[in-house]
Amino acid sequence: MKVSPKNQGLSELDEFCIQTIRFLSMEAVQKANSGHPGMPMGMAPAAYVLWTRHMNYNPANPRWHNRDRFVLSAGHGSMLLYSLLYLTGFDISLDELKNFRQWASKTPGHPEYDPDCGIEVTTGPLGQGISNAVGMAIAEKYLAKYFNRDGFPIIDYNIYVIASDGDLQEGIASEASSLAGHLGLDNLIVVYDDNHISIDGNTALSFTEDRAKRYKAYGWNVQEIRGDGNNMAAFEKALNNAKQEKKRPTLIKLRTHIAYGSPNMQDTAKAHGSPLGDDEIALIKERFGWDPDKSFHIPEKVLAHMRKVNDKGKYTETTWDKMFAEYTKAHPELAQQFDDAANEKLPLNLYDNMPDFEAGSMIATRKASGKVLDVLMPKLPLILGGSADLTPSNNTEFAGAKSFQKDARDGRYIHYGIREHAMGAIMNGISVSGLTRAYSGTFLVFSDYMRGAIRVAALSKYPTIFVFTHDSIGLGEDGPTHQPIEHLAALRAIPNLLVLRPADANETAQAWKFALEHRDGPVALLLTRQGLPVIDQNKYSSSANLSKGAYVLAGADDPDVLLLASGSEVSIAMEASEKLAAENINAQIVSMPCWKLFEKQDKEYRDSVLPPSVKARVGIEAGVEQGWWKWLGDKGVFIGMSSFGASAPGKICFEKFGITAAKTIEAVKKVMN
């Protein structure tokens, strides 16, 4: 075998393993005729050293709680990760590598969350992964403070990231990295693949600031390794320094070459996102002394060597298990909390002493939410809250909450600053850490800034809870820049995201109950700034029906018309119904806090809420009409927004835009004619 003399700190067997990773990556891309071969080729040495010499994990139990986490933020280089997972013995077969980017494979084009296969988070949209890792680092710091006792480091792991030029260019990464530096997350180690190439060409076209100085300014420990990405002696020294760092996150700026070893494609933009071609792969094999007639070739000594991490992993976890057994004897209550969290169990008394909301009183659902959190969160010590610098407005800080800071790792409330996009991704990182979960708040209009993270949460089924307040023109004087018009419809459009818009304080309490019990994806709570009347639970249907997505709030034996509404507009429907009754028009009021949940109900239930025989239907919502026609049918009328809002008191906005009981009555008479 030919070994490059540039490799430092590597044996011939090490080099052989690295070449195997490179060839698996380029051949899988070639077979799929699609993918990104260059990055895995350049980063193979560093990834190999990291996975075989430094990270603690057990392929036989990928969910072991004290494992080191690895995030391939440069998700386009997914074959690097898949090759490592296969070679180290995770549940990824060689056939899956050959099936790269094909239907139903475990090896999609970009890594998708699959902890049973060793894939910690979904990456692909650049910047998400490194931001998720900040959340993972926060979770580890909090868990260590909460559970660890003298002699029992139950939680003690690092988060390793491989990030690209593209990751560092995305604004979300800047937001997250800034917060990580502020918080001094020394358990976060980012390896920056500084290969100088992106899709358009050399990064000098658009990316010329001094990244090392930038991260130093964030408060990071920055180490630079020049050369061609093969000086593993220097890389290991940097890793060891990073693991010994006790005050700052670390960025290792590693100069590499995309498509390293390719005679014609190295350092070219084409190698970023296109197969190299059979002829080029043959030339690379010749250069490194590989048999050009063999593809997906795994030398026995390579597999045997790399599978040794299984023995190390089993030993490490077994040692931890013995420690945890002793910990259970010494600290039984903490051990029980650990197990309950691992099994997603909520406290039996969680809903005791829930706030009592007086019927007819006025309370904004954001304030009702705050009162509910005051009761629930002290009983849920592994749920971390926060806000993007809108805590007093979002009412997300519960009674007794302490701020999570560099010198206060026991704090459960995270001040994200004005960093909405990073907040969303960091919350996702917290929520996939195995024991913790996150909720945080901002204004609904700023969900635009968070959409990338929300979409990934829905795609990956992270159990993150997004709190959005000031959910309509009802927020008033801040005007159209802050009044969400299309945002409710936009969030509803995301598959697997459950959007709950409660009608009053009692529905808000039920929304929190549902969100805490729902683990199969994210939940978004949409809450009002303005006060809403508390609906009498003795007179109207129980708010517990929120879990069905829509329900008959007030029915009629033979309704003439259906009034459908969500959130703050339910009270408008109720007012209109009372006035219609005086004119002998029977209206059935339907509260629709969550369309997706309603769609999951059986046909019999859906027909009981929306009788097919009643064609006269009016939908009322202070947002755009998209999606409403599935409920209203051909003869329905929608009352809502078709323009941006205006700067005026909320009540005036509703009147001027015609979202009132009077306009509802006019619509009812129109639709009944």
Q: What is the mean pLDDT of residues 404-418?
A: 98
Q: What is the pLDDT of residues 377-394, one digit of tens each?
A: 999 999 999 999 999 999
H helix intervals, 601-649:
603-609, 629-632
Identify the sign of the CA torsion 26, 29, 33, 35. negative
User: What is the rounded distance in angstroms from the CA atom of residue 134 to the CA atom of residue 404?
Assistant: 13
Q: What is the pLDDT of residues 103-142, one digit of tens each?
A: 999 999 999 999 999 999 999 999 999 999 999 999 999 9
Tell me, what's the pLDDT at 418?
98
Q: Which of these three, 255, 287, 313, is where a domain ends? A: 313
Catalytic residue check, 517: no
- At 673, the pLDDT band (50, 70, 90 cuts) reads confident
- At 7, the pLDDT band (50, 70, 90 cuts) reads low
Please list, in sequence order, all residues whose beta carbon lies within 8 angstroms of the beta carbon of residue 558, skipping any fewer than 6 positions away: 586
Contact 389, 444 (CB under 8 A): no
DSSP letter for each residue of 326-339: HHHHH-HHHHHHHH
Is pLDDT at 217 greater than 70 in this prediction? yes
Closest by Cα among 508, 263, 253 to 376: 508
Residues 431 and 308 in one domain: no
Number of domains in the chain: 3
Contact 576, 668 (CB under 8 A): yes
Residue 613 sits at the vertex; the CA angle it makes with 542 and 666, to the nearest 5 degrees, is 75
Written as six digits, the tokens of 446 are 């700023």
* Beta-carbon count within 10 A of 295 CB: 17
- At 187, the pLDDT band (50, 70, 90 cuts) reads very high
Q: Does residue 340 sit within a domain?
A: no
Give me the chain's average pLDDT, please.
Answer: 97
Is pLDDT at 26 greater than 70 in this prediction? yes
Contact 535, 553 (CB under 8 A): yes
Tell me, what's the pLDDT at 492?
98
Q: Does residue 339 sit within a domain?
A: no
Contact 630, 617 (CB under 8 A): no
Q: What is the mean pLDDT of residues 508-515?
A: 98
Closest by Cα among 195, 235, 242 to 9: 235
What end-to-end distance do the CA atoms of the chain give, in Å?
Answer: 86
Is pLDDT at 15 greater than 90 in this prediction? yes
Q: What are φ and ψ of residue 251, in 5° steps? A: -115, 120
Residues 450 and 574 in one domain: no
Residues 514 and 551 in one domain: no
Residues 528 and 473 in one domain: yes
Residues 209 and 65 in one domain: yes
The domain that holds 512 is classified in CATH as: 3.40.50.970
Q: Does residue 191 sit within a domain?
A: yes
Residues 442 and 509 in one domain: yes
Q: Does residue 177 sit within a domain?
A: yes
Beta strands in 356-464 (DSSP E): 362-364, 383-387, 413-415, 437-443
User: What is the rounded distance in angstroms from the CA atom of residue 45 to the CA atom of residue 35?
Assistant: 20
Q: What is the pLDDT of residues 230-283, one digit of tens each?
A: 999 999 999 999 999 999 999 999 999 999 999 999 999 999 999 999 999 999
Q: What is the mean pLDDT of residues 417-441?
A: 98
Residues 98 and 144 in one domain: yes
User: What is the rounded distance in angstroms from the CA atom of residue 272 to the CA atom of residue 266?
Assistant: 10
Q: Which residues pair with 362 in a beta bridge?
A: 533
Q: Which of these three, 498, 533, 568, is where a domain ends? A: 533
Q: Does residue 321 sit within a domain?
A: no
Cα distances (Å, whole numbers) of residue 264 to 37, 38, 256, 271, 276: 14, 12, 16, 10, 9
Q: What is the pLDDT of residues 610-624, one digit of tens each?
A: 999 999 999 999 999
Written as six digits, the tokens of 219 are 């408060």
The domain that holds 610 is classified in CATH as: 3.40.50.920
- Per the confidence metrics, is the pTM higher than 0.95? yes
Q: What is the pLDDT of residues 135-161, one digit of tens each?
A: 999 999 999 999 999 999 999 999 999
Q: What is the pLDDT of residues 221-244, one digit of tens each?
A: 999 999 999 999 999 999 999 999
Contact 494, 458 (CB under 8 A): yes
Residues 511 and 621 in one domain: no
DSSP letter for each residue of 136-189: HHHHHHHHHHHH-BTTB--S---EEEEEEHHHHHSHHHHHHHHHHHHHT-TTEE
Q: Does residue 540 sit within a domain?
A: no
Tell me, what's the pLDDT at 458?
98
| Structural domain span for residue 666 | 547-672
**Percent share of the chain, pLDDT over 70:** 99
Identify the sign of the CA torsion 145, 150, 153, 154. negative
Residues 480 and 618 in one domain: no
- At 520, the pLDDT band (50, 70, 90 cuts) reads very high
Is pLDDT at 5 greater than 80 in this prediction? no
Residues 439 and 497 in one domain: yes
Q: What are φ and ψ of residue 151, in 5° steps? A: 85, 0
Residues 525 and 577 in one domain: no
Catalytic residue among 245, 317, 420, 621: 420
Closest by Cα among 603, 13, 608, 628 to 299: 13
Q: Which of these three, 505, 533, 561, is where a domain ends? A: 533
Q: What is the dihedral of CA 603, 605, 608, 612, to 10 degrees?
A: -20
Q: What is the pLDDT of residues 449-502, one digit of tens each?
A: 999 999 999 999 999 999 999 999 999 999 999 999 999 999 999 999 999 999
Q: For the CA atoms of the chain, what is the radius of gyration?
A: 28
Residues 519 and 389 in one domain: yes
DSSP letter for each residue of 184-237: T-TTEEEEEEE--EETTEEGGGT--S-HHHHHHHHT-EEEEE-SSS-BHHHHHH
Q: What is the pLDDT of residues 353-376, one digit of tens each?
A: 999 999 999 999 999 999 999 999
Residue found by looking up tokens 């007030």 in the block: 554
Q: Does residue 516 sit within a domain?
A: yes
Q: What is the pLDDT of residues 497-509, one digit of tens each?
A: 999 999 999 999 9
Is pLDDT at 1 greater than 50 in this prediction? no
Q: Does residue 223 sit within a domain?
A: yes
Contact 223, 215 (CB under 8 A): no
